[in-house]
Chain A
Amino acid sequence: MDDMSSMYCNCKPEAPRSQLKAWAKVDELARANSLWVTAYGTGCGAIELRPLHTSRFDMERFGIAMRPTPRQADVLIVSGYLSVKTLKRVIRVYEQMQDPKYIVALGSCTINGGMYYDSYNTLNVLDRYLPVDVYIMGCMPRPEAIIDGFGLLMEKIKAGRADGWEHYRENLEWYRDNQKKVIPKWDLPDYNW
């Protein structure tokens, strides 16, 4: 880790600067209408995203597009069950995304463990480890349900209530404690941005 230390930032994130109300309104409108999604499928729900961005359901008409790199994305879709090993990667991906960023969680598995509630390596409640903005229930949710969930996220952003990323930054200690509790081999730097 020593030789890699120059690759990471080793200070806590700064508090957001306040900005003009009018600008914020325009920004929220633009953010809501241009959601870029990290192409990262964690579980079986990733298979439901394929029909979503091909001809039948076509999410590009809402301005939602897939980006292959977390640096350029706004939304992280946690699609289904999350194993402990994947959680580590998801944390890396989430923290590499640039503010503001949102998390959409698909499926019962992210809400309360779903059918894997008694598994030894899948998480039960995602909200304890990452700030989720919108949950979409179902096992798995149909593409219509995912579109509906994105509509909800857009409304939240327009209303200025999609502030999971700020909450994560303010309560970083609590989230880190929870993450370190379930990840026995914590070999990440403390701040991955």
Chain B
Amino acid sequence: MMDSQRLLEQVESTATVLQVIRRSDGYLHVSIGSQDLLSCLIRARTETGFLVLQLISVVDRIEDGKFQLTYILENPDDSSILILSALFPREGCTVPTLSEIWPAAETFERELHEMYGIDFPGNDRQDEEFILEGWKDKPPMRRDFDTLEYSIRMFGERWPRNHHDPRQFIGERVGEWETPMSGEEGS
């Protein structure tokens, strides 16, 4: 198991570490500058042995005007985990593609392109449909996309419904409201 201190030193040698979010034995989660992301990922793969790209995820930090991209890497030899986070500007977000390094990244990036509208120049398949078929609106997972408004516009107003307080409703239907246990407490 690789010591997290050694991991941190290796990350620091290629990138400016903004914040250490969490660290423990064989586990390091750091936030780094977005300009160093690609070189840091390549270095982690080629020299430190983080061969597996487990996930690319995005958090839409709309208050800061940023997308936070998180890359989870695993070293299959000693199962240590390295997580790199970087912030990218939200408008016209462009992120370097990893599809040359990890072919699996191509699919992750397709999903992010479809759901958040992040552009990955160099990924040839990013314009293919991933889950949505024939989506024409704004990417649906961005937080400025109003799903309720879209739902009403697309699928129509839902039918009105009555609200019932369960206790009262059941009481009307079956009479006295009693929990099954209440009668047995005395005996």
> Which chain A residues have a beta carbon within 8 Å of chain B's beta carbons?
84-85, 88, 111-113, 117-125, 128, 181-185
How many Cβ-Cβ contacts under 8 Å join chain A to chain B? 51
Out of B134, B140, B159, name the residue touching A185 (CB < 8 Å): B134
Contact B147 A125 (CB under 8 A): no
Q: A128-B156, A184-B133 are in contact. List 8 more A-B contacts (CB 8 A).
A: A88-B133, A112-B159, A113-B151, A113-B158, A118-B148, A120-B154, A181-B154, A184-B135
Cβ-based interface call for B161 (8 A):
yes
CA of A85 to CA of B140, assembled, Å = 15
Return chain A residues, CB-CB under 8 Å to B154: 120, 181-182
Secondary structure type dominating chain A contacts: loop
The residue on B at minimum CB distance from A108 is: B161
Secondary structure type dominating chain B contacts: loop
Question: If the complex has contacts A111-B159, A117-B158, are A124 and B151 also in contact, measured as CB distance less than 8 A?
Answer: yes
Return chain A residues, CB-CB under 8 Å to B158: 112-113, 117, 124-125
The interface on chain B, measured as residues whose beta carbon lies within 8 A of the other chain's beta carbons, has a size of 19
Cβ-based interface call for B102 (8 A):
no
Cβ-based interface call for B131 (8 A):
yes
Out of A120, A121, A125, name the residue touching B156 (CB < 8 Å): A125
CA of A123 to CA of B152, assembled, Å = 10
Closest approach, in angstroms, between the C-beta of A91 and any C-beta of chain B? 13
Contact A118 B147 (CB under 8 A): yes
Cβ-based interface call for B145 (8 A):
yes
Closest 9 CB pairs of A and B: A185-B134, A184-B134, A118-B148, A112-B158, A124-B155, A185-B133, A124-B158, A120-B140, A120-B147
Contact A118 B133 (CB under 8 A): no
Return chain B residues, CB-CB under 8 Å to A185: 133-134
